[in-house]
Amino acid sequence: MSRPAPHPVTAPVRRDDPPPTDAWLVHRRARLVWGSVLVAVLVGPSVIWMLRTGPQPLLHQMSVLTGLLALSAMVIVAVLPSRVRGLSGALGLETLLGLHRRLGLLAGALVALHLAFVVADQPERVGLLVPLAAPGRGQAATAATVAIGVLLALAVRGVRSGTHEVWRWVHLSLAALVVGASALHVFWLNNLVTDAVMGPVLTGLGLLLIAVLVLRWGARAGAGEFRVHVVRPESPTVSTLVLARRGRHAGPWFRPGQFAWLRLEQMSVEEHPFTIASSAADGGRVEFTVRHTGDFASRLRELQRGDPVWVDGPYGSFTPDAVPSTGLVLIAGGVGITPMMSMLRTAADRGDRRPYRLVVHARDRADLLFRAELAHLRTCLDLQVTEVLRRPAPNWGGATGPIDTALLAAVLTDLEEPARRLDYFICGRPQLVTDVLDTLGALGVPDDRVHTEQFAQV
Ligand SMILES: Cc1cc2nc3c(=O)[nH]c(=O)nc-3n(C[C@H](O)[C@H](O)[C@H](O)COP(=O)(O)OP(=O)(O)OC[C@H]3O[C@@H](n4cnc5c(N)ncnc54)[C@H](O)[C@@H]3O)c2cc1C
């Protein structure tokens, strides 16, 4: 494909933007509300303590404040990945995971500062750190500190390929130890919990965490039960699992681009996230297109008609439903095409007239998925598909190489109407997403029009 010179593709001329839709306003409000709730939980207990106690000696004040902030941060860190559906729909998976990581590091830093201020305030308290000689409150503090150190070191190191399940259980066990030991430390300290105001505040923080965890682990039985209708091969390494909902058909229940967690036994602890690839207009039958990377994905390929699968979802905010776009640019790497297929299938079912530009990045021709269906969708949508191969055969006549500014400029040449508001959806390996983000940045695309989903560790 010929590549014109790069030029800015979306000058942010706000007065040309289409008016916000109701869905966009609801989404913005939900983000604001959830953001405020998180900030309130993070700083609320510390602010209440300061208002209640008034000015205190600096070192004492800092020791209590760092402890309270660390406690609040731990509660939020535990809540963020706990599948609170409203939170996931408002902030999206990537924001939640980014906050989870950053607040986890903040909690670790606050615990270290707390220790430093406690000892600086009263140096004789250093004895609390001697594990066997220390009273219960000191032992609990030491256990929490060691556990959070190990937890953060393992989290920063990341998961080695094929060890995700082991890593996940070590992570969850250490997190439970950190939160449990911190709670015991505060309880045995017996000063804040007996205070007429701080006692109920800390109890509220604890009850919030327990409620979220009970919903997260206790509501597993309520996940939707589906039965395998068929497993359809798409390529030598990719298959589509077609599932039919058991019982009453509840109508549309997800938005295009969202994902769900799949389990093969109702109470199994092993579950993996997959994007719902089918049209959101049909909630009774859903499809997941899966690359057989490891054990779990390979087991999905072996399923037989009638086998049960439990679907916990929908989650995430990687969806065009909430954005008031006049056109969509979808950029997918490999099996990252699954959310794009849901968006395009839904658009076709809804009779959407907006322009769609799909860029598919794949290793080679055999890796290009859904070619026949995309050709059909082009007859009922304003859809253009650009296929880009990383390792093309000599007879490949299409685009090759990375998704750079010249390629994107060429893809967008016919979308020059002044009132456009294009939104960009990118999904694939973390490296592809990072590269495309750089390219869009170089083209002057505003950040708030770019939406990403990475099939990385959750
Ligand atoms: C939001 C989201 C949507 C996804 N959608 C799709 C999709 O539509 N199609 C598709 O083929 N893949 C998708 N994935 C990736 C898919 O979840 C993993 O490939 C799958 O969990 C691998 O499990 P495994 O046992 O088969 O392979 P393993 O060999 O155990 O793992 C292979 C790699 O997958 C990742 N992984 C393993 N377990 C998990 C887990 N529980 N959660 C997250 N990542 C894990 C790890 O990075 C690991 O290195 C998605 C991932 C996310 C986060």
Q: Give, using CA atoms, the residue closest to atom 28 of ligand 1.
A: 294
Residue pair 335/273 in contact (Cβ under 8 Å)? The answer is no
> Which range has highest mean pLDDT (138-147, 277-286, 417-426)?
138-147
Please give the C-alpha separations between residue 22 and each of 25, 28, 321, 322, 342, in angstroms, as whole numbers.
5, 10, 10, 8, 22
Q: What percent of the chain has pLDDT over 70?
A: 91
Question: What confidence tens digit (pLDDT) does each residue in 294-334 have?
Answer: 889 999 999 999 999 999 989 999 999 988 888 999 999 99
Please work out whether the CB of residue 264 comes within 6 Å of at least one atom of ligand 1: no
pLDDT computed for residue 72 by the predictor: 97
Q: Are 276 and 260 in contact (CB under 8 A)?
A: yes
Which run of H or of E encompasses 356?
strand 355-362
pLDDT of residue 71: 97
Q: Whose CA is nearest to atom 40 of ligand 1?
A: 272
C-alpha span between 340 and 326 (Å, rounded): 17
- Which residues in 21-109 belong to E strands, given as ranges? none
Residue 412 pLDDT greater than 90, yes or no: no
Which domains, and CATH codes, for the chain?
4-220 (no CATH), 223-315 (2.40.30.10), 323-455 (3.40.50.80)
161 lines ligand 1 (CB under 6 A): yes
What are the C-alpha distances in Å from 214 to residues 44, 84, 245, 357? Answer: 23, 11, 25, 43
Q: The tokens of 119 are what?
A: 């000892």
The ligand 1 atom nearest the CA atom of 299: 26
**pLDDT tens by residue, 264-296:** 998 888 889 999 999 999 878 899 999 998 889
Encoded amino acid at 76, one letter: I
DSSP string covering 85-117? HHHHHHHHHHHHHHHHHHHHHHHHHHHHHHHHH
pLDDT band at 160 (very low <50, low <70, confident <90, very high): low
Reported confidence tier of residue 8, pLDDT bands at 50, 70, 90:
very low
Cα(79) to ligand 1 centroid in Å equals: 22
Q: Give backbone dihedrals phi and psi of 268, rounded to 5 degrees, phi first.
A: -60, 145
| CA 317 to centroid of ligand 1, rounded, Å | 18
Task: Take atom 53 of ligand 1 and give the residue whose Cα is closest.
Answer: 455
> Regarding predicted confidence, which is higher, 17 or 413?
413
The residue contributing the CA closest to ligand 1 atom 4 is 274
Q: Would the pLDDT of 222 be above 80?
A: no
Could you tell me what percent of the chain has a pLDDT over 90?
A: 68
Ligand 1 centroid to Cα of residue 16, in Å, is 40
447 exposure class (CB count in 10 Å sphere: 0-12, 13-18, 19+): exposed
pLDDT for residue 9? 44
pLDDT at 416 over 80: no
Given a cut of 80, is residue 131 above it in pLDDT?
A: no
334 contacts 367 by C-beta, under 8 angstroms: yes
- Ligand 1 site, residue 455, Cβ cutoff 6 A: yes
315 lines ligand 1 (CB under 6 A): no
Whole-number CA gyration radius for the chain:
25
Which residue's CA is minimally distant from atom 3 of ligand 1? 274
Residue 11 has pLDDT above 70, yes or no: no
- Is any ligand 1 atom within 6 A of the Cβ of residue 335? yes
Q: Could you read off the pLDDT of 163-177 as tens digits, one per residue?
A: 778 888 899 999 999
CA–centroid distance, 436 to ligand 1, in Å, is 21
Q: Which amino acid is at 27?
A: H
How far apart are alpha carbons 33 and 69 in whole angstroms?
A: 21
Mutate-to-test residue for ligand 1 from 264, 455, 457, 458, highest number of ligand atoms within 8 A of CB: 455
Distance CA 436, CA 441 (A): 8
Which amino acid makes up residue 437? L
**Nearest CA among 393, 402, 395, 405 for reference residue 442:** 405
Ligand 1 centroid, distance to 430 Cα (angstroms): 13
pLDDT of res. 267? 81
Q: Is the Cβ atom of 162 under 6 angstroms away from ligand 1? A: yes
Give the pLDDT score at 157: 84
Does residue 273 have a cis peptide bond before it, meaning omega lies within 30 degrees of 0? no
Q: What is the mean pLDDT of residues 352-363?
A: 94
Which stretch of DSSP H or E encloses residue 400? strand 399-400
DSSP-assigned states of every residue in 159-178: PPTT-HHHHHHHHHHHHHHH
**pLDDT on residue 5:** 42
| pLDDT of 2 strictly over 80 | no
CA-CA-CA-CA torsion for 34, 36, 39, 44, nearest 10 degrees? -120
Average of per-residue pLDDT values in the chain = 89
Phi, psi of 331 (to 5 degrees): -125, 115
Query: Which pLDDT does position 16 carry in this prediction?
Result: 52
Ligand 1 centroid – CA 273 distance (Å): 6
Q: Is the CB of residue 42 less than 8 Å from the CB of residue 104?
A: no
Nearest 10 degrees: Cα torsion 286, 288, 289, 293: -160
Cα dist from 145 to 150, 155, 209, whole Å = 9, 15, 20
Sheet of 272-275: strand order equals 272-275, 259-263, 308-315, 224-235, 238-245, 285-291
The number of residues making up the chain comes to: 458
Is there a contact between 316 and 93 (Cβ–Cβ < 8 Å)? yes
274 lines ligand 1 (CB under 6 A): yes
pLDDT in tens, 167-203: 888 999 999 999 999 999 999 998 899 999 999 999 9
Total-model pTM: 0.88
Strand 450-454 with 285-291, pairing: unpaired
In DSSP terms, 310 is beta-bridged to 225, 263
